[in-house]
Chain A
Amino acid sequence: DTAVSQTPKYLVTQMGNDKSIKCEQNLGHDTMYWYKQDSKKFLKIMFSYNNKELIINETVPNRFSPKSPDKAHLNLHINSLELGDSAVYFCASSQRQGKDEQFFGPGTRLTVL
């Protein structure tokens, strides 16, 4: 009965590879987000989708591409991985954009070697 789930939990890969992280929410929420937590534990938003429409696209390299096939899923694809991409990536969702509590997934720890 997990509310916001992410797969995989851990991802270890070589520089230059392409990888994807998947996120699903079973809360019936309209809005989903991707956040990045760096090595200093600082959290910063990357993207937000509302009803499958891209709402927020922060200053993120275009190697990062989110995809929302439906309201319950928001995946993150990363091309040509770099060492600096190593971080914990969190998915979150809220009922309505900007108005409601955000619920976070357990995170995906990405390590680029």
Chain B
Amino acid sequence: KQEVTQIPAALSVPEGENLVLNCSFTDSAIYNLQWFRQDPGKGLTSLLLIQSSQREQTSGRLNASLDKSSGRSTLYIAASQPGDSATYLCAGSGNTGKLIFGQGTTLQVKP
């Protein structure tokens, strides 16, 4: 049974800092690993999808990596901005597309 864990649960950093959010999963037979952003009271915005044959994906200041052998994914945010403040969720899926979510990391970037 797939379980997804995110550490830390909360993170506060000054503006401009580079930071890493961690996600670990128990079942290496993972198809996809997807990172989302959720703002308070809002829906989920997809940030990056890493398919099982890939090791990383990049979009702007975001870079996500996937290491299936160690059961880990990281989301790297470069030069953080106050607008990056949100909850970041990672989710792994098998071949049915069923996403198993972590509990999220709530990020606050202080001006």
Q: Which residues of A contact B (CB under 8 A)?
A: 31, 33, 35, 41-45, 48, 55-56, 58, 90, 92, 94, 97-107
B residues contacting the other copy or chain, number (CB 8 A): 25
In the complex, the answer to whether A102 meets B34 with C-beta atoms within 8 Å is: yes
**Nearest chain-A residue to B31 (Cβ)?**
A98
**Nearest chain-B residue to A104 (Cβ)?**
B44
Note all chain B residues with C-beta closer than 8 A to A98.
Answer: 31-32, 93-97
- A22 CB → nearest B CB, Å: 15
Note all chain A residues with C-beta closer than 8 A to B43.
Answer: 90, 104-107
Set A42, A55, A92, A101: member contacting B96, Cβ < 8 A? A55
CA distance A32 to B93 in the complex (A): 14
Q: A41-B87, A41-B104, A43-B89 are in contact. Are A102 and B99 (CB under 8 A)?
A: yes
